[in-house]
Amino acid sequence: MTTPLLPTYDDVQAAAKRLEGVAHHTPVMTSRTLNELWGAEVFFKCENLQRMGAFKFRGAFNALSKFSPEQRKAGVVTFSSGNHAQAIALSARILDIPATIIMPHDAPEAKANATEGYGGKVIRYDRYSEDREQIGRDLVERYGYTMIPPFDHPDVITGQGTAAKELFEEVGELDALFSPLGGGGLLSGTALSTRALSPNCALYGVEPEAGNDGQQSFEQGKIVHIPTPKTIADGAQTQALGQLTFAIIQRDVNAILTATDAQLVECMRFMAQRMKLVVEPTGCLGFAAASHMKEQLRGKRVGIVLSGGNVDIPHFCRLLGQ
């Protein structure tokens, strides 16, 4: 197998230029209560307050901005459990590109509705029996669409990396940074910015405990595939890392950690109660793992990426009511 050409921090800087004036420069928030509790200085990068409610707008808009006139005319297709779908639909609407989204039948209602609301055409499939990539390939062949996958694409990775770039530019170097991990677009982009702007920062990717394919891959040095995991972290129900994301993660990340659904709910509660923030379960992965190792973080400067806030409110209430 040939080594794929990996994107670099220069590409993250170019992505940041394309996103200027389009993506929000999201706030970095802190909590005195938490800092006292942990004896640390903790900075939350609030991508739950990004346009369409998650960091995925960054990668999607960056990728679509690079389309040729022919690609723009034919349109974009993607598959996603939700946030990438909304990100592609919104970016496509802004850039006047037709968008088709292949979405699992059990994707949260709020995410499907929002995707259609942004003007995307939704095609449903069964995530436990059908191959979404095959469905995508068929559409590309038939209609000349360009496929923009949710994570394993250089322009998606470098777009996602702009969130950590903003974080370091705002707060300076950190001792540790925690980022959610699904297919690895966010973590690998974050890694490019981290190694450029805070080279000695320990960088951790955090997955749901029920689906630790990234941790297994990282430890075995090869991409491990797992069945679709059952977890409330629906943004991280991926079966495997990508070629590009795995190569960057293997090179630049310190360790992959996991969090249980119960820990995610506790973190959602803290975010809502103490910080007045609605964070979706997947968005709390980094916070959950950091909470678990707070003794080791004493006296340190810690960054945590809150990756998204798209959760059905009745579902949110049911989870917090437990």
Ligand X SMILES: *Cc1c(COP(=O)(O)O)cnc(C)c1O
Contact residues: ligand X, CB under 6 A = 54, 56, 83, 150-151, 180-187, 235-236, 238, 280, 282-283, 307-308
Residue number, 168 or 287, with CB nearest to ligand X: 287
Give the shortest CB-74-to-ligand X separation in angstroms: 25
The answer to whether 56 is a known catalytic residue is yes
Residue number, 176 or 191, with CB nearest to ligand X: 191
Residue of 45, 56, 111, 165 marked active site = 56
The answer to whether 307 is a known catalytic residue is no
Residue of 45, 65, 68, 81 marked active site = 81
Token digits for 269? 């509660």
Give the shortest CB-100-to-ligand X separation in angstroms: 19
CA distances, 69 to each of 131, 146, 292 (Å) = 30, 12, 49
CA atoms of 171 and 183, how far apart (whole Å)? 27
Give the shortest CB-164-to-ligand X separation in angstroms: 12
243-252 and 213-220 helices, crossing angle to 10°? 60
Residues 6+ apart with CB under 8 A from 82: 103, 107, 108, 111, 112, 115, 234, 235, 310
Residue number, 72 or 229, with CB nearest to ligand X: 229
Give the shortest CB-69-to-ligand X separation in angstroms: 29
Residue whose C-beta lies closest to ligand X = 308
CA atoms of 243 and 287, how far apart (whole Å)? 26
Q: Is 134 exposed, middle or buried (0-12, 13-18, 19+ CB in 10 A)?
A: exposed
CA atoms of 139 and 236, how far apart (whole Å)? 25
Give the shortest CB-81-to-ligand X separation in angstroms: 8
Residue number, 72 or 292, with CB nearest to ligand X: 292
Residue number, 155 or 280, with CB nearest to ligand X: 280
- How would you write 197-262 as a 3-class SS string? HCCCCEEEEEEEHHHCHHHHHHHHCCCCCCCCCCCCCHHHCCCCCCHHHHHHHHHHCCEEEEECHH
Which active-site residues does the annotation give? Answer: 56, 81
